[in-house]
Structure 1
Amino acid sequence: MSHFLGLSSFFFTILRKILFFWVKTEVVGNEKDFLQLDPDKPVCYVLQYSSFSSRLVLEQECLAAGLPSSQAPLPIGGKGIRRSFFFLYSRQGQWFRKRQSPTVTQRLKHMVHEATLNSDLDVQIVPVSLLWGREPEKQKSMFKMLLSDSWSVAGRLQKFLIILVHGRRTFVQFSKPISLKSIVDETSSETENHEEIATRKLARILRVHFRRTRQAILGPDLSHRRTLVHSLIHSTVVKDVIRETAKEEGISPEKVKARAIKYGDEIAANLSMTVIRFLSRLLSWVWNKIYNGVNIRNIETVQEIAKENAVVYVPCHRSHIDYLLLSYVLYKHGVMVPHIAAGINLNMPIVGPLLRRGGAFFMRRSFKDNKLYAAIFNEYLYQMFSKGYSVEYFVEGGRSRTGRTLQPRPGMIAMTVRSFLRNSSKPIAFVPVYVGYEKVLEGRTYLGELRGKKKEKESVFGLFRSLSNLRKSFGKVNVNFGDPIFLSKFLDEQQPHWKDQAYDAEYRPKWLNHVVNELADEIVTRINDASSINPINMTGLILLSTAKQAMDEKILASQMDTFSNLLKQMPYSPHMSYPEGCGKDWLEYAEEMGLVSRQKQNLGDIITLEGNNATLMTYYRNNILHLYAVPALIASLFQNNPMMKREKVVFLVRSIYPYIKAELFIHWSKEEISEVAEQWIDVLINNDMLHVEGDSLCRPSTGSANFVLLSVLARFIIQTIERYYISIAVLRNQGPGVLDAAELEEQSTQMAQRMSILYGLNAPEFFDKTLFRHFISNLKENGIITEDEAGKLIYSEKLAGVVEDAKLVLNAEMRQGVLQVTTLS
């Protein structure tokens, strides 16, 4: 018998090696850190479908990853089990074999039986999903059906063809182990048929697991593009708009219908897995050329969510690389790439068709005045969600030129919510994604635009010009997936009775705008929760907080360590990430990237920001400004005050916080901020940046190292408060009932630009119109200013209190400078 087993093993090994002369695999989840297998417990693998070739692939990947062999005996019970694997589905017949329903195999029964007899026995059951070709089926495609591994008639000839055609694109995903003991223990209360019930439950869990995993990897079946476009025209809502448009324009419905088909053709994606695979290989080469690595965090959450939900990926928008990078990361980790909303300006020759086949669907910047286009686009999005496709769009609208998260534009979110209200059978989950660059590809372009240069229009020639960047290094990229938002749960919280209403394509409930705005703010807030700190933004954060953007090398490295440790003591979010190494390593890295300069000195080298780098570094600093906003606000209160009562500090933080929260999308609510401020005060005390004297807080002695640290921390937020003061000073100087909101915004912007020149501020966002607009809007929301019948701004006595509070933060020179410039103007 042992001779037979040895011979069988020999032939199995030979066939495995022959198979892998042709087969190439992509494997996910086989890392030991991910599986966390207990070496003291036996391991048994489970494959979905009975297939000898699948056994060969499984064993190859187990050996390659250093995992326990699937061919080894499973040491449980007296005789044990011959092999450490089993199939969930079996087949009948020879050449044309049909799959049966999930089969409870003898191996599974034996394992459950032994676990029932021995309460200490546990087997780690590892589900392994294996897909030949990893390609979603096209509806009504006989060729794809013939070569699909899910076709009900699957014989040896078909399997040979599948391996021949798809074998070089084989995808294998290991999932976390299921404890046999836990399943048996959960059913132990059953007095009768305990063993049978445990067996059926385990088979059911595995069946659901494989179905959901397949859904996450492949997504739903793809509709033929022409079929999809014509289905849009046949929807009731689009038919109504076609008739209405024909009547308004006095033309035949057929002409309007032809226009509608043209719109649908302009919008619809044409996702091709051949192009996806090509882009995957191309982008692998590109990332290796321009980046030192792509770090990914919390991808496991996405893999689980995609099994049951239509996923809406909502990344921050810092670069055109964002959507390419996200699709690449998802594809490499076994998640189906999303359909991506792209601006119509990207539908250029060569590039447009390639992006469309990569999953992009194109949308015009505005279509409020085009009812027909709006109806087609809304219907397209509705069909995407109702069929369970994943979608990606940028809630900020455009790319951030300042490095801050921009105010969300709720248009796409509103369409998503309305689609869900029409048909909530398929759950929708929003997944915030933070993409953190150490050096953004368009950095120099942004620099020109921030200084007033006209935005360049995208073109093929511009794309070719950007290829020169392939010779440069852009450091590492961090892709952090944040805490998901489940739309149904969010609606339950905002509108508990939303399910009691009936919704059609045209109905907009009164509460819709409020809920959409709340959802938009929650999305960008959770994007910020997943921020990444890296050596570049830490270097910029501190150097830009010095008067001359220069600092002693050792002091700079030490301060980077200090401020990094502050966040570790009071973490902003469990989803954020930190860089490896220490301040000294980060500083050397920033120098290698060419973003800081070194001046040699006998007493110690000085690190400086020179020329364009000083302005460019504000972009990277702004990526993480929200992480330090609250402690920086506390520190700023001690710049002009050596001592202050603790309760006064908390009161002032509570007063100023709503404006900073709204601008930087910080996650703590107004009700929570007092407690958070108290906690941050304790952290600063523990780090000797504040001292306690009775019921008062004191800053360190002037000139001490800790006083310098407190001053640097304060400067993280001072410019933001100065900008607020400019608007208030302009308003008070003009008096009530003189300016409307637009005039105040314009005058504040001009004033800030002048102050920037006079005081040498290298921060273009200091005079960003949108920031002033948002601040003025928040003053209205908080009742500080109101509008009269003519739309002019009226302010209450609260404004005087705000001015008095500003004296505690801003130094006399800055306040006087603002007032002088305002008065002269």
Structure 2
Amino acid sequence: MQHSSFIHRAVSQVLRKLLMLWVKTSTNDVTPETLGMDHNKTICYVLNYRSLSDLLVLDHECIVHHLPLPMESMVTDKGERIHSFFWLSQQEGVFLQRFRPKMPDTIKQMIDWLDHNPSQNIQLVPVSIFWGRAPEKEQSALKLLFDWNFSVGGRFRKLLATLIHGRNTMVNFGPAIALRDVVDERDEQGRNYRRVGRILRVHFRQLRNSVIGPDLSHRRTMVNGLIKTSSIRQAIDNAAASDGISKEAATLKARKYADEIASDYTFSAIRFLDIVLTWFWHKLYNGINVKHADPLKSLAQTHTLVYVPCHRSHIDYLLLSYVLYKEGLTPPYIAAGINLNMPVVGTILRKSGAFFIRRSFRGNALYSSVFHEYMFTLLSRGFSTEYFVEGGRSRTGRTLKPKKGMLSITLRSFFRDNRKPVAFIPVYIGYEKVLEVGTYLGELRGKAKKKESVLDIIKTVAALKNQFGKAWVNFGEPVHLADFLDHQEPVWRSVEKTEDFKPSWLKPVTSQLSSLIAQRINGAAVVNPVNMVAMALLSMPRYALGKQELIQVLDTYKYLLLSMPYSFVSVVTDQSAEEMLAYVEDLELVSRYNDSLGNIFILEGNVAIQMTYYRNNVLHIFAIPSLISCLFVNNASITRREVLRICSILYPYLRSELFLAWDQQTFLKVVRNWLHVMNKASLIRSNGKGIYRQPETDSTEFVMLTILSRAISQTIERFYMTISLLIGNGSGVIEQAELEKQARELAQRMSSIYGLNAPEFFDKSLFSGFIEQLRKRDVVQVTSVGKLMFGGEVRQATQEAYKLLARDIRHSIHQTAQKQKKG
């Protein structure tokens, strides 16, 4: 018996080494600790399908990761030796082999052993092995032949799968399951036996869906299915009647829309992009840092995921899909603007999961119906999707005000079928250098938006010779849709919902959802070295600082951000101040000059303008300590009560513009905490009785306080400009559009006078957003003829400005506003 076991182990060892000469694997985070293994308990691995190659791969991974080996044996009470693994399914048939669920006797023996050994336990570790990770496609014989991840199988087919997909094999170890926790001693053995099998099968099915995704429909099959749905048939009838065309012509039009929209997701395109993008990212960036992806892996097994990233660059599409694929998750279906449906590029994107959407559905009910039905099909079948809630790429580096169209469509689809829970996944994508940043700043300064073309790709390839630093992908706190709706509008569960269900509360609920998602995107922000250096140098009048002074500023920033983290998922660079400077200098984003007193770092010309983009990425993180700093730079002393009062007045407007995370009550706690942290850093001084003082004006701490205050000062100046112009024009005199125009012109003039190289300082949308908040809070009303009317609250706001803005700034804004009015 021992001789036979020795031969078996020797043969297995030889086969394993031969197999691994070809097979290349990737695994999740595998250690006994992460899997919850207890070395004092017996470990038994569970594989879904009976396969020698799967077993050999498992044996290899256990050796690599120093885990108990599956070939080891355990002894039952009857003296029988059984291996520390078993298969859930067995092969049936000779030629047309298929796998059938068949629970092995091993589980019965283990349950029996537990009955006789009440102090012992056995841990089951489910292991999934994916050869190629390709989802099945209906009516695709080639995939059925070569893909091993689905139910039809045989030895020859497994050999082909190993040869074709062996270099792209993924091994996933599930968390250890204590068998005694599953077994109920009060139940008969047969029921316990079935319960264990059911739990394991559910685990394997959910994991497969999260890694591979649901079975795909052939694109033609999906398009035909859309056209045959009752909602599209009704839309076709309506279009035929309203447009005066035949039903056949309206059907043809609907089919054309469906063809224009629908993705043609193919695994071959994903594998192609995996190879190309691996080369591309290594050429363009020094690495891709991924944070907080692990929680998604369990969530993807039970939820339909909707990824909602911020939008900074055209390559966001590719980066997120690439990261998810590398993390062992299904790349999502991506909503892409119709402008990207270019020759060659559009085909590649479509086959990689992109579906195309027009900028507007207005006046085209048939197109709207087809798109709604397509989205419903994706969500109801459990496909993960992705879209950018901002609508377009941010030209300023800030998170833009979300568009509500796709969110509304998602909500309405969920109302129709909510059997599987949906979770929105906010994603922060950050770059240390953005490919298109030069184009963005030109557009902000008035240049026409450039139409996308194939030439842009050539320019991108040409840019590969430049250094772009690192890219960051950080997954934020999920928004569970059902929980969100329960909180916002509990009646949603009890109302009868038809295909055209569109309640009156949909619009405000969608608005709340969009704001929450934007806040959680910002909550996942990454503060990288470029952000830090940009924030420091752009706070200086001439964008320059001596090396030692700059290091001191960076050290202060880092201390503050680590002492008071913005959120539990936000990330701050681990580099020291010296390392940050050297790193940003290598990226050619800062210049160094030497004089007799040492090194000076400076932002020059267009680089200074570009750095405003990277500062704005993290402006929201610095907003509250900067606001507090403004108060203490302009006031020798101030009470805690007064700090809280003034911050409370400004907070709703800052929150709306920067998508800050806290409600009003939580915000007050945040301010108190910041006062404590800033006092500890000696930036302000407390007397212990609720009164705070600024540090000595000739001290280093006061210089640090002044620099920190400048992060948010331009935002406050814009607010003051708008209020000054409103008062200058008079109540009931000016329309909102004219006030926005005047405010933008005033900001441009102030920018020229003070040399502010920040194009977003006079961004029209920021003035519009502020005025909308004034109206929303009923500080400003609109008359029946469209004029803005206001009362004493607006005038009182100008009286508060002296506590936040320097006298020369207030005077300059007031004088310039008066001249502009006279002109």
TM-score (norm. length: structure 2): 0.95
Quick one: structure 1 residues 78 and 728, their matched pair in 2 at CA, closer, same or farther if it must change by over 3 Å?
A: farther
- Please report how far the alpha carbon of residue 78 of structure 1 lies from its aligned counterpart in structure 2 after TM superposition: 10
Which residue does the alignment assign to 1:84? 84
1:504 maps onto 2:498 in alignment: yes
Q: How many residues align?
A: 819
1:722 paired residue number = 717
Alignment-derived partner of residue 572 in structure 1: 566
Q: Which residue of structure 2 lines up, in the alignment, with residue 648 of structure 1?
A: 642
Please say if residues 632 and 717 of structure 1, whose CA atoms lie closer than 8 Å, have aligned partners that are also in contact.
Answer: yes
Question: 2: CA distance between counterparts of 1:673 and 1:27?
Answer: 42
Alpha-carbon shift at residue 604 of structure 1 (Å): 2.7
The equivalent of 1:347 in structure 2 is 341
Deviation at 1:67, TM superposition (A): 3.3
Contact 2:16 2:60 in 1 (8 A): yes
| Structure 1 segment 301-340 matched on structure 2, within 5 A | 301-340=295-334
Are residues 66 and 443 of structure 1, via their aligned partners in 2, closer, same or farther at CA, if it must alter by over 3 Å?
A: farther
Describe the shift of the 1:556–1:54 C-alpha distance in structure 2 as closer, same or farther (beyond 3 A). Answer: same
Indicate the residue corresponding to 1:274 in structure 2: 268
| 1:424 Cα deviation from its structure 2 partner | 1.6
Which secondary structure state, in structure 2, belongs to the residue aligned with residue 637 of structure 1?
Answer: helix
1:739 pairs with 720, 731, 734, which one? 734
Percent identical residues: 44
765-774 vs 460-469, which moves further: 460-469
Partner of 1:547: 541
Task: Tell me if structure 2 keeps the 8 A contact 1:43–1:74.
Answer: no
Secondary structure of residue in 2 paired with 1:820: helix
Contact 2:361 2:367 survives alignment (8 Å): yes
Aligned match of 2:99: 99
- Of residues 664, 689, 697 in structure 1, which corresponds to 2:658? 664
1:266-296: CA deviations, max 9, x gaps? 1110001001000011000001111111111
Q: Are the counterparts in 2 of residues 95 and 157 from structure 1 also a CA contact under 8 Å?
A: no
Runs of 5+ consecutive residues of structure 2 not aligned to the other structure? none
Aligned to 1:798: 793
Answer whether contact 2:71 2:84 (CA < 8 A) is retained: yes
- Pair 229,95 (structure 1): closer, same or farther in 2 beyond 3 Å: closer
* Displacement after TM superposition at 1:102 (Å): 4.6
1:672-683 aligned at under 5 Å gives the runs 672-683=666-677
Per-residue CA deviations over 1:103-135 (Å, capped at 9, x if unaligned) read 1532x3444455555565454432211122311
Measured at CA, do residues 743 and 181 of structure 1 come closer, stay the same or move farther in structure 2, by a change above 3 Å?
same
Match of 1:44 in 2: 44
Query: C-alpha displacement at 1:563, in angstroms?
Result: 1.6
Aligned to 1:387: 381
2:697 alignment partner, one of 673, 694, 702: 702
Aligned 8 A contact 1:553 1:607 in 2: yes
Matching of residue 756 in structure 1 with residue 751 in structure 2: yes
Work out whether residues 96 and 156 of structure 1, in 8 Å CA contact, stay in contact via their aligned partners in 2.
no
Which one is further off, 588-597 or 60-69?
60-69
Residues 143-200 of structure 1, C-alpha deviations (whole Å, 9 max, x = no match)? 434545466564333433443444343322222333445546xx4xx4454x766655
Return closer, same or farther for 1:117/1:614 CA change in 2, 3 Å cut-off. farther
Whether the 8 Å CA contact 1:99–1:152 is kept in 2: the answer is yes
The 2-side partners of 1:414 and 1:79 are apart by 64
Q: Which position in structure 1 is the counterpart of 2:154?
A: 155
- TM-aligned CA deviation for residue 614 of structure 1: 1.1
d(CA) in 1 for partners of 2:698, 2:191: 74
Matched position secondary structure for 1:607: strand
Residues 538-596 of structure 1: CA deviation (Å, up to 9, x unaligned): 11111111222111212222321222221222211111112122111111111111111
CA contact (8 A) 2:308 2:426 kept: yes
Relative distance call for 1:686 and 1:114 in structure 2 (3 A) is farther
The Cα of 1:427 is off from its aligned counterpart by 2.0
Residues 435 and 479, structure 1, Cα contact 8 Å, conserved in 2: yes
Offset, 1:758: 0.4
Report the equivalent of 2:5. Answer: 5
- 8 Å Cα contact 2:43/2:84 also seen in 1: yes
Quote the residue 1:456 is aligned against: 450
The 8 Å contact of residues 246 and 252 in structure 1, kept in 2 or not, is answered as: yes
Give the partner amino acid of 1:726: M
Mapped to 2, the partners of 1:287 and 1:581 lie a distance apart of 22
Distance 1:808 1:162 in 2: 71
**Which of 750, 767, 786 lines up with 2:781 in the alignment?**
786
Structure 2 Cα separation of the partners of residues 538 and 74 of structure 1: 57
CA shift, 1:462, in A, is 2.0
Tell me the SS of whatever aligns to 1:436: strand
What corresponds to 1:447 in structure 2? Answer: 441
SS of 1:644's equivalent in the other structure is strand
The separation in 1 between residues aligned to 2:680 and 2:115, in whole angstroms, is 55
Q: 1:165 to 1:640 in 2, by over 3 A?
A: closer
1:258 equivalent in alignment to 2:257: no
Note the C-alpha offset of 1:368. Answer: 1.0
SS at 1:638's partner residue?
A: helix
Displacement of 1:469 in angstroms is 1.2
Can you list the C-alpha shifts for 1:520-540, whole angstroms capped at 9, x where unaligned? 111111111111111110111
Query: How many angstroms apart in 1 are the aligned matches of 2:31 and 2:340?
Result: 38
Superimposed CA distance per residue, residues 610-657 of structure 1 (whole angstroms, 9 cap, x where no aligned partner) = 111111111111111111211211111112110011101111111110
**Which residue of the partner structure matches residue 23 of structure 1?**
23
Residues 241 and 143 (structure 1), Cα distance of their counterparts in 2 relative to 1, 3 Å cut = same
Equivalent in the alignment of 1:240: 234
Residue of structure 2 equivalent to 1:812: 807
Residue 457 (structure 1) shift: 1.0
Q: C-alpha distance in 1, partners of 2:513/2:278?
A: 34
Structure 1, gaps ≥5 residues long:
none
* Equivalent residue letter for 1:488: A
Query: 1: CA distance between counterparts of 2:614 and 2:629?
Result: 22
TM-score if structure 1 supplies the norm length? Answer: 0.95
Residues 151 and 645 of structure 1: CA distance in aligned 2, closer, same or farther (over 3 Å): closer
Instruction: Name which of 678, 688, 708 aligns with 1:684.
Output: 678
In 1: Cα distance, 2:227 partner to 2:695 partner: 71
What is the SS of the residue equivalent to 2:748? Answer: helix
Whole-angstrom CA distance in 2 between matches of 1:498 and 1:328: 36
State the one-letter code of the partner of 2:735.
D
Tell me the residue number matched to 1:65: 65
Q: What CA distance in whole angstroms lies between the structure 2 residues aligned with 1:796 and 1:75?
A: 86
* Mapped partners of 2:198, 2:472: distance in 1: 38
Between 746-755 and 166-175, the greater mean CA deviation after superposition: 166-175
How far has the Cα of 1:227 moved from its partner? 1.7
Shift of the 763–116 alpha-carbon distance from structure 1 to 2, 3 Å rule, reads farther
Match of 2:469 in 1: 475
2:289 to 266, 291, 295: 295
